[in-house]
Amino acid sequence: MVYLAPPHLASAARPSYGEAYSNILARHRRSPLTSASSVILLVAPDVDALCAARMLAELLSQDDVMHRIIPVSGIAELEAMKDELATYNELHTLILINMGAILDLPSPTWFGEFSTKLTVHVIDSNRPQNLGSLFGGGDIGDRIVIWDDGEAENMEEERKAWEALEAGIQYIRRSPHFDKSPQYEPEPDSDEDSFSSSEDEMPFDSQDDVSESSRKRKLPIDSAHSRAKRQKVNERHPSPNQMSRDQRLHYQSVVDKHYTRGSWYSQSASATIFILATVLERADRDLLWLAILGLTYQYTSSRISRDTYEKFHSVYHDEVIRLNPLPPSTKTTADAITALSPDDHSIRATEEFRFTLFRHWTLYDAMFHSSYVAGKLGIWKERGRKRLTGLLAKMGFSIPQTQQPYTHMDLDLKHQLRVKLDAIAPEYGLVELTYPSFIRCFGYRAPPLSAADAVEAISALLDVAGGVRIEVEVEGARHGGEWFGSGRVWKTGRPDVNDSAKVPPGENGGAHGDGGEDGLVAEERTEVPWWMKNFWAAYDALTDIVSLRDALSLSMSLHRAIIRQGTTIIDKQDIRTMRSHRVVVLSQGPDLALFAHPGVLSRLAYWLIDALRDKLPGTKFTHGKKSLPFILACLNESTSTYIVVGVMGALEFGDVRKNEFGLAFINAKDRCNARSSHNSFNTSVLEVDREDLKMFLEALCEVGEGY
């Protein structure tokens, strides 16, 4: 068995996370060549992977295990890294975090031809998982270890089908007549490509697990002469595992269904590492906080549903109570949480408003930039903005109070906010304004920070800390007039207001990298890709409250750009309907360079879905329930390509649909031969050549209501 069950399903014959970690330590201590390249962590650039890497690095450091953390941006980067890893003689443990689940890792294309001393551990929340990596055995398969969340225990049908098909492939490959017998040669005018591609020639389909497109290829229709010839061959060399054609087709359909029902997300990678820390009896507040951030990121980015979130939230809630014993008189309401001492770093459960960064923004701006409020009130119209002002006025909140920072509002108003909203907001359709979450104190160094706000800051660092020019507000300079009201250009790392370049209000800049330095320093900075600098800036901010709070202003600027672009799209009616899809193409505008980043473009897609959910009919695809399929394409002027993102929105707020765009993108580009590249670990993100976008979208949408 090559996948690890979670601890509650483990047994003497079934190892779990703790045993796998012990094996890593044992191999490291037995290795004659011990260096930082002995244990390598390859980490995807998302908040959950970032938190999991930080947690695992802390556990390894406690055990004096030298290791390296290498960020990997996508599939192309992973392929290049694989070639480099093959030259590391001392490498014995490779850990993939939020990548690799869909790849056929035991195959020669990936790690099948690596040294036998290498063990590859996969900690990935992406689904579906590759059946070859999950159930493959042998010397190669046993060196691929999948840290599963218990899902594989319910995949007995898929396992049986995969093992049956794989056994047939291995039998044919071992057959001495496979390559030597002349009867296996296809006719010159036949549709057969090879012996392994025919339908009745062998007892099993010769399936290549390396790519999904090969799984979906159609088998040719054979001539009567070819079938008669194959029948003679089968009678002469019968297979010991002969099965009927119906059985073979049934097994193939089971495997195909596993790969084609869409992509989704399961237990977060940070949750897996926290379970490991609990088994090792090393769980503490710092690791718990990182696990909470990973879960919150999955929920706020619409990767998991509300039900899944609440399941894990209840577990973390119990851990918060266990690791954070508080005095009985401590207040836990959101507006009354404060640090009890200079060393108070406790985590507390609270109800979080669906208002964007409301503790650090004005109440009006926090509600205005909330996608939930936007959808219910329609704030992209003047009427919707008047409804928002009317809601606040009906609650008894004056305009001056709602236009100043939340921290400066009257305490009476802050204490009454929850009660007033519960009484009046339902009249405006706002019935799900809160959800259970957590907040952490940082002593007297900074005000408490909620998990949602921390995730917003870290996501902004990952997406736009570098690689694009973006303006942020200077604290205290708002409404300062022509002389004092100004902003500054964000720079990677902790920005200094005095050293920052001043820009006029409202100017956003274009697609420029971090500038302002000449000579050798500037030349050295260009050697590091912007996304890698963003990764390390976000990684450091996980444990640095000063950097984290500084990034809140960057997140605010990002939300302003999203709602500015989203409002423009709706006002100008730029949403086209192509068959059953909603398509938006961004080819000009001041924020074009910003939305050329897949993460920011995905945020815009989800904002549009939340804003229009109650106003658009759903579409039912081949699998699953009705969805809101949105396709957003943004021009990247520097490369003359379009970044295309496909999102499946749910009709109900808090629900999540499986994303079926991964396979749809592959099929569409194969049909139209569009020049494209798929470099992200997110299968629903594609880069298409500028000249081929139109025919790609037509090929993608021509399938109607089913893929």
Burial 108-137 (b: 16+ CB within 10 A, else e): ebbbbebeeebbbbbbbbbbbbbbbbbbbe
Strand partners for 68: 40
- Helix, strand, or coil (residue 329): coil
Res 51 pLDDT > 50:
yes
Res 632 pLDDT > 60:
yes
Q: Residue range 214-223: average pLDDT?
A: 39
Q: Residue range 157-173: average pLDDT?
A: 79
Give the pLDDT confidence score for residue 172 in this predicted structure: 57
Give the pLDDT confidence score for residue 504 in this predicted structure: 33
Res 323 pLDDT > 70:
yes
Contact call for residues 503 and 486 (beta carbons, < 8 A): yes
Res 498 pLDDT > 50:
no
Report field, pTM of the whole predicted structure over 0.75 = yes
Tokens 């964007």 appear where? 356
Res 628 pLDDT > 50:
yes
Q: Are strands 487-489 and 576-578 parallel, antiparallel or unpaired?
A: unpaired
Residue 299 or 31, more confident: 299
Give the pLDDT confidence score for residue 647 in this predicted structure: 92
Res 489 pLDDT > 70:
yes
In this structure, of 157-171, 181-195, 261-275, the range with the lowest mean pLDDT score is: 181-195
Give the pLDDT confidence score for residue 493 in this predicted structure: 54
Contact call for residues 145 and 2 (beta carbons, < 8 A): yes
Q: Comparing C-alpha atoms, which of 630, 634, 633, 600 is closest to residue 616?
A: 630
In CATH, the number for domain 573-701 is 3.10.310
CA–CA gap between residue 188 and residue 183 (Å, rounded): 13
Q: Residue range 159-181: average pLDDT?
A: 68
602 CB neighbour count, 10 Å cutoff:
22
Q: What is the DSSP letter of 357?
A: T
Amino acid identity at 148: D
211 CB-near residues (< 8 Å, 6+ apart): none
Res 462 pLDDT > 50:
yes
Give the pLDDT confidence score for residue 620 in this predicted structure: 62
- Domain extents for the chain? 3-149, 157-260, 296-353+435-444, 573-701
Res 512 pLDDT > 60:
no
82 CB-near residues (< 8 Å, 6+ apart): 110, 111
Contact call for residues 308 and 295 (beta carbons, < 8 A): no
Give the pLDDT confidence score for residue 242 in this predicted structure: 65
In this structure, of 83-92, 245-254, 395-404, 621-630, the range with the lowest mean pLDDT score is: 621-630
Give the pLDDT confidence score for residue 224 in this predicted structure: 44
Helices (H), 153-284: 156-174, 177-180, 212-215, 224-236, 245-260, 269-279
CA–CA gap between residue 630 and residue 701 (Å, rounded): 11
Res 503 pLDDT > 50:
no
In CATH, the number for domain 3-149 is 3.40.50
Contact call for residues 502 and 480 (beta carbons, < 8 A): no
Residue-averaged pLDDT of the chain: 81
Give the pLDDT confidence score for residue 477 in this predicted structure: 54
649 half-sphere exposure, CB direction, 13 A CA radius: 28
Give the pLDDT confidence score for residue 190 in this predicted structure: 40
Q: Kindly indicate the confidence band of residue 180, based on its pLDDT and cuts at 50, 70 and 90.
A: very low
Give the pLDDT confidence score for residue 216 in this predicted structure: 40
CA–CA gap between residue 407 and residue 66 (Å, rounded): 44
Q: Distances from the Cα of 306 to the Cαs of 290, 312, 418, 437, 683, in angstroms?
A: 20, 10, 21, 12, 23
Res 205 pLDDT > 70:
no
Question: Where would I find the beta strands (DSSP E) of 185-341?
Answer: 264-265
136 CB-near residues (< 8 Å, 6+ apart): 2, 106, 144, 166
Q: Residue range 505-516: average pLDDT?
A: 36
Contact call for residues 433 and 425 (beta carbons, < 8 A): yes
Q: Comparing C-alpha atoms, which of 76, 145, 82, 137 is closest to residue 114?
A: 82
The pLDDT tens digits of the residues spanning 525-562 come to 446 788 999 999 999 999 999 999 999 999 999 999 99
CA–CA gap between residue 43 and residue 97 (Å, rounded): 5
The pLDDT tens digits of the residues spanning 422-453 come to 999 999 999 989 999 999 999 888 889 999 99
336 CB-near residues (< 8 Å, 6+ apart): 415
Q: Comparing C-alpha atoms, which of 84, 439, 59, 473 is closest to residue 273?
A: 59
Q: Kindly indicate the confidence band of residue 321, based on its pLDDT and cuts at 50, 70 and 90.
A: very high
Q: Residue range 203-214: average pLDDT?
A: 40
Q: Residue range 102-124: average pLDDT?
A: 90
Q: Kindly indicate the confidence band of residue 12, based on its pLDDT and cuts at 50, 70 and 90.
A: confident
Res 660 pLDDT > 60:
yes
Rama region for 222: left / alpha / beta (φ>0; ψ in -120 to 50; rest):
beta
Residue 207 or 327, more confident: 327
Give the pLDDT confidence score for residue 36 in this predicted structure: 75
Residue 13 or 552, more confident: 552
- Helix, strand, or coil (residue 513): coil
Give the pLDDT confidence score for residue 187 in this predicted structure: 40
Phi, psi of 45 (to 5 degrees): -85, 70
CA dihedral 397, 399, 402, 408 (to 10 degrees): -100
DSSP class per residue in 82-123: HHHHTT-TT--EEEEES--TTS-TTSTTTTTTS-TT-EEEEE
Contact call for residues 125 and 266 (beta carbons, < 8 A): yes
